[in-house]
Structure 1
Amino acid sequence: MTVLPITVPASLLNVHHLDPEAGGWGFRVDHAVATAAGDTYMLTGLRRYRARAACSADPAEQDFGYQLITRHDSDGKPTATAVFGQAVPGGGPSAIPERDTTTLAVLPDGAVAVSSKPGSTHLLSPNLDEVLASWPMSWGWQSEQDPGDDPFAASIAVTPAGRLLCMTSEYGLSNWAGAHPNIVAVSEPGTKLGPGRKPVLRAIATLDARTDCQSDADSYAHVRYGDEPVGRGNRPSPSLTEALSELTGTSGSLYGYLDSTMTRPAALGDDLFVVPVFGKTYRSTNLGQEFSFALVDDRGMLQGRLGGLHLRADSPFTGFDFTVVADPYRARAFHLNRYGLYAWSADGALRARMPTAEKPFKPLVHFALLECTPAGELLLAHRKQHLLLRVPVPQDLDALAVAVEAALKGYRRERTALKKQYAPVNWLWPDSAATVTPV
């Protein structure tokens, strides 16, 4: 068990005269990934909004919105931070725009991929000091794609053989405006993504097949089904919406999978993936609404879903905790929501459930599950205290509850030691050790 502070460069706080004891600022944790060597990359967001800032001519007093990627070495020491989203006062414009839904992936060559909805991907050097390549996609609110768009993926996960498991977006779905994540696609083993190299992705699953509004301009050459780009009727069939409706017997139901959404697919191996699919979100309560963590193989066949979850008692709609992470090296999947932490084997069997209603696991409601590391550790971020808890998962999932309970007990001890080292104010952890690079 290890606890790491999710830090912010002290120089960035100083340049904006940010007082952690004052109001108007916010800090969030978006994602984290780790390498086989033990390095950890943390993706965060730092913002400030104050009504009086608009009246100030001093750039240091004005509002800002940044995203940050901080690299921690195997000893937990912050070594480098990339700052993007807007220009740092006195610097040039950022090459990477700020986005609300952004995730990281470490590619086999060590480059860090930053992907965001609806389909932008940017590559950073392992030391976070250079943008190596960019494939941008505009916000996706317009009815048609921007002529300048050159997207790659809305999210990327890497399998042990180096395949890229991607989620990509499409325009012209049903009667919706804008671009929506709709395709699950994979690359060939050993694929390289880099400057001048945008590999072909083979579509294996479609979320929604209602594409009557699509035109020839709504396809992308690198996302293909068969010999042609995905578009209109050229796509995997049946769609996940149709397959899951049949599997669950909810076809035609008001609370079925019509107008459903999906979040980042996770790799259970080189040829088996988990695709989280959630029924339509309503303004009133969504407790009891349909959801499935679908198991899809690399031929596009629905192999079932992660089992053992109750639509109400285990609903991820409470708190909107939709993330599923997987360990492709050991073929295991995990999910955390306000009702518990869950673990499955690759056949979809629920192997462990730690209910937050039970005293030893109550602290889990304060954590978000970010990722599983190549070493088989769960990365959990405290939502308020901004600390990363690394929980080693035992080989036998039946022993996971004991490991999680021990990690939660050790968390307090480690937190006390870190508070003495960093002296955080309002759980904002300043760091002066890492090299800071605006990108």
Structure 2
Amino acid sequence: MAATLPLTLPASVVGEHRVDLTAKHSDGWAFMTSGVAANAAGETYALSRAVRYRRRDGASPDPFQMDFTYHLITRYAPDGTPTATALYGGATEGSAPTGLTEGSDFCLAVLADGTVAVSSKPGNTHLFSADLSRLVESWRSPWGWEEEKERNGDPYAFSIDVTPSGRLLCGVAEYGVSNWAGQVANLVALSEPGSTLGPGSKATLRAIATHDARSDRQKEADRYPHVVYDGAPVGGSNRPSPSLTEMVSTDDRTRFDYTGCKMGRPAAMGDDLFVVPVFGKTYRSGSRGQVFSFLLLDGQGEERGKLEGMHRYEDSPFTGFYWTVVGDPYRGRAFHLNRYGLYAWDADGRMRSRIPTSDAPFKALTNFLLMGCSPAGELLLVHQKQHLLLRVPVPEDLAGLEDAVRAALKAYGPGRNALKRQYAPVNWHWVDGTAPVHRH
């Protein structure tokens, strides 16, 4: 049965900073969710960000006036009750990110031992205990202006996904790729069975794919000891071949179209099957109809086809920039949601369901972002305006997905109304004062 959960703000933050929940984004206030993950016990974790920026001259020491940037991970019981929140960040001048809040494109994963991992570009990874009470480990990569002072830092990965056996499927950034400045998302890497990620222990990653192999500018200092290929740290020509760019550039036309393309976040469809999005360049004038591919790779980096069936224009993920593909590694399936539809594939890359958002009642899907798939096989959809999480059970036969989504959207309204009676939200902000807040 579908379930609706509130993406909550801690009452302590709202009270400490006297947050005006009626404020708009144009007023310098923003609350958004960037990652959702679930564990086998049915508990859900949500990674959100709260930012306030007030345009004024000079900084104020008054917490009621201060700018701030907070990231929060909230843990929910199977029934949707918030049980704990990890809060990090705080008041800053100009709402500048600081400490653990640095980075971009944040994502969330639950490791096999229950540890919660937060990753972001270019290579930050932070580990929290399952109850969110402890920051277990932190690896940081220089970001923004820091990059000019400190070249390499101590990165791990910019994204982590977990296979059923507990292996880590990671996206890793590199320096010195082609003519790009700074670190670029460029490697798909996999941990070996039995390796662990924890306090003082970086699980070694074996590179299985390179997005862009043009690495003549790389130096010895640009190699990371925890990412290896052929028994040595990845760097220069020591890397998997052919590259993802070469895999999608099958003729002169596609070679031109994929020039300057980028790699999205890898997702696990099994212990030995992964999907990697590759997108062509974006243009200020509009990019609908630009090329994209969802490549299937095995654990050795061999191409196993693509997720088929999407039309380059009619199903374009470039409208709104919807890059995310999520996998269900326990059942060998993949899902994608963009402005034009919800799509589902089997392990062979065959499209098994396409639900157009132009058809009622599925127009409501355009208000959601697809952020994950639970071990129980539920799609995790986030409504960014109403700050609610909708869990949609997926049937074993993907041909029945349309009926399941229709039922979930029908149940969403009553579920939302029940939460409104419980929380009395202001401008769709759900404030919770019951779950303990752990500041890090």
What band does the TM-score fall into relative to the shorter chain?
A: over 0.9
Q: Check the 8 A contact 1:118/1:140 in 2, yes or no.
A: no
Letter in 1 for 2:270: G
State the alpha-carbon separation in 1 of the partners of residues 58 and 342 from structure 2: 44
- Give the alignment of 1:317-336 within 5 angstroms: 317-336=318-337
Deviation larger for 313-322 or 192-201: 192-201
- Give the alignment of 1:39-188 within 5 angstroms: 39-52=43-56, 54=58, 56-86=60-90, 96-139=100-143, 146=150, 149-188=153-192
Distance 1:427 1:235, change over 3 A: same
State the alpha-carbon separation in 1 of the partners of residues 90 and 334 from structure 2: 36
Which position in structure 2 is the counterpart of 1:278? 279
Which position in structure 2 is the counterpart of 1:436? 437
Task: Report the CA distance between 1:213 and its aligned residue.
Answer: 1.0
Q: Check the 8 A contact 1:85/1:98 in 2, yes or no.
A: no
Q: Check the 8 A contact 1:3/1:388 in 2, yes or no.
A: yes
Q: Which runs of 5+ in 1 are unaligned?
A: none
State the alpha-carbon separation in 2 of the partners of residues 279 and 437 from structure 1: 41
1:31 to 4, 10, 35: 35
Q: Check the 8 A contact 1:391/1:407 in 2, yes or no.
A: yes
Are 2:221 and 1:250 equivalent residues in the alignment?
no
Task: Report the CA distance between 1:100 and its aligned residue.
Answer: 2.8
Task: Report the CA distance between 1:191 and its aligned residue.
Answer: 2.1
1:189 to 169, 193, 196: 193
Task: Report the CA distance between 1:95 and its aligned residue.
Answer: 5.1
Task: Report the CA distance between 1:59 and its aligned residue.
Answer: 2.4
State the alpha-carbon separation in 1 of the partners of residues 143 and 103 from structure 2: 9
* Aligned sequence identity (%): 58
Distance 1:141 1:292, change over 3 A: farther
State the alpha-carbon separation in 1 of the partners of residues 67 and 146 from structure 2: 27
SS of structure 1 residue aligned to 2:408: helix
Q: Check the 8 A contact 2:74/2:82 in 1, yes or no.
A: yes
| Per-residue CA distance 1:3-30 (angstroms, 9 max, x = gap) | 0000000110000011212342111110
Which position in structure 2 is the counterpart of 1:313? 314
Are 2:287 and 1:265 equivalent residues in the alignment?
no
Task: Report the CA distance between 1:53 and its aligned residue.
Answer: 7.9
Q: Check the 8 A contact 2:69/2:101 in 1, yes or no.
A: no
Q: Check the 8 A contact 1:102/1:116 in 2, yes or no.
A: yes
Q: How many residues align?
A: 433
Which position in structure 2 is the counterpart of 1:378? 379
Letter in 2 for 1:2: A
Q: Check the 8 A contact 1:144/1:218 in 2, yes or no.
A: no
Which position in structure 2 is the counterpart of 1:400? 401
Which position in structure 2 is the counterpart of 1:364? 365
Which position in structure 2 is the counterpart of 1:222? 226
| Per-residue CA distance 1:321-366 (angstroms, 9 max, x = gap) | 1100010000000000000000000100000000001012100000
Distance 1:218 1:145, change over 3 A: farther
Q: Which runs of 5+ in 2 are unaligned?
A: none
Which position in structure 2 is the counterpart of 1:340? 341
Task: Report the CA distance between 1:144 and its aligned residue.
Answer: 7.1
SS of structure 2 residue aligned to 1:59: coil
State the alpha-carbon separation in 2 of the partners of residues 279 and 44 from structure 1: 29
Deviation larger for 335-344 or 192-201: 192-201
State the alpha-carbon separation in 2 of the partners of residues 393 and 77 from structure 1: 22
State the alpha-carbon separation in 2 of the partners of residues 189 and 270 from structure 1: 10
Q: TM-score, normalised by structure 2?
A: 0.95
Q: Check the 8 A contact 1:143/1:172 in 2, yes or no.
A: no
Q: Check the 8 A contact 1:185/1:201 in 2, yes or no.
A: yes
State the alpha-carbon separation in 2 of the partners of residues 152 and 347 from structure 1: 31
Q: Check the 8 A contact 1:84/1:98 in 2, yes or no.
A: no
SS of structure 1 residue aligned to 2:318: coil
Distance 1:10 1:193, change over 3 A: same
Q: TM-score, normalised by structure 1?
A: 0.95
Which position in structure 2 is the counterpart of 1:232? 236
Which position in structure 2 is the counterpart of 1:291? 292
State the alpha-carbon separation in 2 of the partners of residues 252 and 325 from structure 1: 27
Deviation larger for 133-142 or 76-85: 133-142
State the alpha-carbon separation in 2 of the partners of residues 331 and 162 from structure 1: 15
Q: Check the 8 A contact 1:94/1:438 in 2, yes or no.
A: no
State the alpha-carbon separation in 1 of the partners of residues 23 and 147 from structure 2: 41
State the alpha-carbon separation in 2 of the partners of residues 141 and 207 from structure 1: 25
Task: Report the CA distance between 1:152 and its aligned residue.
Answer: 0.9
Task: Report the CA distance between 1:147 and its aligned residue.
Answer: 5.3
State the alpha-carbon separation in 1 of the partners of residues 252 and 377 from structure 2: 36
